[in-house]
């Protein structure tokens, strides 16, 4: 049974932490872990078979509608890691990198000069085996090619493993993304920066599922 805190988060309010990372020349260096392979799919992929046989496992994890919409979006890319020998999908993340105007995803507005890393997932049997390191180092190299120097990650305040990983890999927590809800429906986002400035946003129609 859910406790009162979980019920309140579901219905009325959720606090999330904003982490940021920055690109430098060292981020172009390759990861030395040869047990796993990093792959990257650019936006606007018309044929989803490009990631077979990983596609089915990805759909089961994310949902077919979201996968198709993201693969077709001009400003969204997919980074994923497979096991070198078996080819099995072991982890993935999506990256939103707006080219001309801000884009909303999950009630966060990603600006043109930044990239949002979202829906980071490592399959349970592969956790604590260096997969996240492989995934993020590869993702960061690819983001550096986009001429973006700032990377954003949104982490649920209650997600201790992801908070620990973010700190380990040098992310800086410098704000909060507060979702205000009406009985489970997200109404608007309130962003509080470290300097205590507060910005409120109502998501526009330019949204990525």
Phi and psi at residue 75, to the nearest 5°: -115, 25
The per-residue pLDDT for 55 is: 80
Half-sphere exposure of 175 (CA within 13 A, CB side): 20
**Residue 6 banded pLDDT, cuts 50, 70, 90:** low
Residue 209, in any domain of the structure: no
Total count of domains within the chain: 1
Task: Return d(Cα 52, Cα 173) in angstroms, integer.
Answer: 36
Please give the share of the chain, as a percent, with pLDDT higher than 70.
74
**Length of the chain in terms of residues written:** 209
Tell me if 151 is assigned to some domain.
yes
Domain with residue 180: its CATH number is 3.40.630.30
206 domain-assigned: no
47 within domain boundaries: yes
Residues 109 and 98: beta-carbon distance below 8 Å: no
The answer as to whether 45 is a domain residue is yes
Q: Other CB atoms closer than 10 Å to residue 24's CB: what's the count?
A: 10
CA distance 13 to 11: 7
176 burial class (0-12, 13-18, 19+ CB within 10 angstroms)? middle
Tens of pLDDT along 132-170? 999 999 999 999 888 788 999 999 888 888 898 888 888
d(CA 18, CA 157): 10
Q: Which residues span the domain enclosing 53?
A: 4-201
More confident: 3 or 155: 155
Residue 194 has pLDDT above 90, yes or no: no
Q: For 77-119, write each residue's pLDDT tens digit.
A: 999 999 999 889 999 999 999 988 989 888 788 989 899 999 9
Q: Which residue has the higher pLDDT, 129 or 190?
A: 129
Q: For residue 207, tell me if it sits in a domain.
A: no
The answer to whether residue 66 scores a pLDDT higher than 60 is yes
| CB-based contacts of 159, cutoff 8 Å, min separation 6 | none
Q: Averaged over 110-133, what is the pLDDT?
A: 92
Residue 167 is assigned to a structural domain of this protein: yes
Residue 202's Cβ-count burial label (10 Å; 0-12, 13-18, 19+) is exposed
Specify if 46 maps to a domain: yes
What pLDDT does residue 58 have? 85
Q: Which pLDDT does position 1 carry in this prediction?
A: 44
């Amino acid at each position: 049974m859910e406790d009162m805190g979980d019920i309140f988060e579901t219905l009325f309010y959720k606090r999330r932490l904003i982490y940021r990372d920055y690109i430098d020349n060292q981020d172009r260096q390759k990861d030395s872990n040869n047990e796993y392979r990093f792959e990257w799919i650019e936006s606007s992929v018309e044929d989803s078979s490009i990631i077979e046989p990983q596609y089915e496992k990805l759909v089961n994890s994310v949902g077919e509608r979201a996968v198709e919409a993201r693969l077709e979006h001009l400003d969204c890319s997919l980074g994923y890691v497979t096991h070198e020998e078996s080819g099995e999908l072991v982890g993935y993340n999506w990256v939103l990198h707006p080219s001309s105007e801000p884009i909303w995803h999950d009630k966060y507005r990603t600006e043109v000069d930044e990239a949002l890393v979202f829906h980071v997932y490592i399959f349970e049997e592969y956790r604590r085996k260096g997969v996240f390191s492989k995934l993020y180092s590869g993702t960061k190299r690819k983001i550096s090619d986009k001429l973006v120097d700032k990377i954003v990650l949104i982490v649920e305040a209650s997600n201790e493993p992801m908070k620990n990983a973010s700190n380990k890999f040098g992310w800086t927590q410098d704000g909060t993304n507060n979702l205000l809800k009406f009985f489970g429906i997200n109404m608007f986002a309130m962003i509080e920066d470290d300097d205590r400035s507060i910005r409120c946003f109502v998501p526009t129609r330019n949204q990525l599922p």
